[in-house]
Amino acid sequence: MASSTSLSQGALHDLGVKALAQALRNKQVSAVEVAQHFLDRAAAHTNLGAFVDVRTEVTLAQAAAADARIAQGSAGALEGVPIAHKDIFATKDFVTTAGSRMLAGYRSPFDATVVHRLAQAGMVTLGKLSCDEFAMGSSNENTATTAVGHSSLQPVRNPWSTDRIPGGSSGGSAAAVAARITPAATGTDTGGSIRQPAAFCGITGIKPTYGRASRYGMVAFASSLDQAGPMARSAEDCALLLSALCGPDLDRDATSLDRPEEDFARDLDRAVHGLRIGVPQEFFGEGLSDDVRKAVHAALAQLEALGAILVPIRLPRTELSIPVYYTIAPAEASSNLSRFDGVRYGHRAAQYTDLADMYQQTRAQGFGDEVKRRIMIGTYVLSHGYYDAYYLQAQKIRRMVADDFQDAFRHCDVIAGPVAPTVAWKLGEKSDDPVANYLADIFTLPASLAGLPGMSLPVGFASATADAGLPIGMQLIGNYFQEARLLNLAHRFQQATDFHAAKPAGF
């Protein structure tokens, strides 16, 4: 029951995670009222294609339970605050399809650890969000599942301009947060899939150090790269979410790190005077649009005004990150996706002649073009006679990329630069040119290959006539386990600017 000082229902979606949590604790509004408000917004903005599964009765039951805990004084840190999950995380109360016909309608018998941990913190699940099939893509156009009650047989649209992509593969998450359909969402980042859509949709997102967040219950793409992380409107909100979702999960995830839980919001207000920010020469060369260059340089100047020191650095193997990533990631995908064979769960072809034909027909029908492309590349580079020439060499260069970062961190504390070379492109613009999509990841891939934490925060808007008003993001990269430092720097920037508070017209 909301108190007499209840909030205006019309203002609820403009509140972030921290503000909503405070309002719920103060009983200015009930969790059921909040949940219903965001469910109504999801129903009103189906044109974006962000949600693939919404189950009102499940969400409202979770919200009612949150209200009961608040009344009893046993509320979690984020009690009653809504969140929606990328459709790559297993959820027992919602479908888990990974954006693929291969898993259309699949219901998991358990929740992913990330989902479970956020539920333990008291968060209420609004539903599942669209993503590129098996998280393979940079535009959220590679999605082909039909979920109960909602269809994602359409690309997700960017709320800043609905003829543009939202980025990928966590495009549904980014679009939903930007459009104020949810205050927070989960995403996954294999080669930039949190940072790039966050930049294209004008929100904040962070990928923690590899192993910080459990991969248990996350449908695998590339096991040595996949990492979960939060997406919200501000660094402060991301810090609260990251504190809840990170932690050791040694019994269920072999890649989980044995590090204690951490309060990532502890140093948000620390002064950044004297902090050394490395600016890589390789991030500002040919191919970077003028709008992105200007916005990132202006943001760096703002950080200087806050007392930070800009330091020129080199990351000489940046360009090699693209062929390295697109050798290693498809190889791991080829292995991980071999389990989808029509035998145990998921799609099975209706007609086949024998076992081999069932495998062939099932996988041909179940996987989309981009997934097939990456499986074929991965199988090729792992095959006899090519393993040493391609996969092994890629792993060696991966180590060199990681070494480049360690060399750079001897001269700086944080690295800053653009997230992507351009703003969000138009739907269909690069659909027939997968290499063009791959090249758009050039600035996000190095940190992923090294397993480093990285985040994106909004720093401006394009002014060029063709792209006017589209958001631009800046990337911050830290050394291992330096998430709190990144969030501190981003928070101080956001205290001095208001780019993160801007919202698309009509939302």
* Catalytic residue numbers, as ranges: 86, 169, 193
Q: How many CB atoms lie within 10 A of CB 336?
A: 18
Q: Take residue 403 and report the two structure tokens written for it.
A: 């070494």
Question: Is residue 187 a contact partner of residue 230, using CB atoms and an 8 Å limit?
Answer: yes
Q: Can you name the residues that pair with 83 across neighbouring β-strands?
A: 125
Backbone angles phi, psi at 220, to 5 degrees: -80, 135
Instruction: Let me know: does 174 contact 197? Beta carbons within 8 Å.
Output: yes
A 10 A CB-CB count for 276 gives: 15
Question: What is the C-alpha separation between 313 and 412, in angstroms, rounded?
Answer: 8
Q: Give which of 132, 115, 149, 343 is closest to 218, Cα–Cα.
A: 115
| Pair 245, 207: CB distance under 8 Å | no
Helix (H, G, I), strand (E, B) or coil at 227: strand
The strand pairing partners of 229, in sequence order, are: 187
For strand 124-129 and strand 227-232, is the pairing parallel, antiparallel, or unpaired? unpaired
Distance between CA atoms of 82 and 313, rounded to whole angstroms? 41
Q: Rounded to an integer, what distance in angstroms lies between the CA atom of residue 375 and that of residue 385? A: 18
CB 3 within 8 A of CB 70: no
SS (H, E, C) 290-353: HHHHHHHHHHHHHHHHCCCEEEEECCCCCCCHHHHHHHHHHHHHHHHHHHCCCCCCCCCCCCCC
Inter-residue contact 52 to 73 (CB < 8 Å): no
Q: Is 460 helix (H, G, I), strand (E, B) or coil?
A: strand
Report how far residue 294's alpha carbon sits from residue 282's, in angstroms, rounded to the nearest whole number.
Answer: 16
449, 225 Cβ separation under 8 angstroms:
yes
Q: Cα(235)–Cα(455) distance, rounded to whole angstroms? A: 9
Structure token digits, residue 439: 């090249």
Q: What is the largest CA-CA distance in the chain?
A: 73
Distance of CA 417 to the CA centre of its chain: 18
Cα–Cα dist 13/29, whole Å: 13
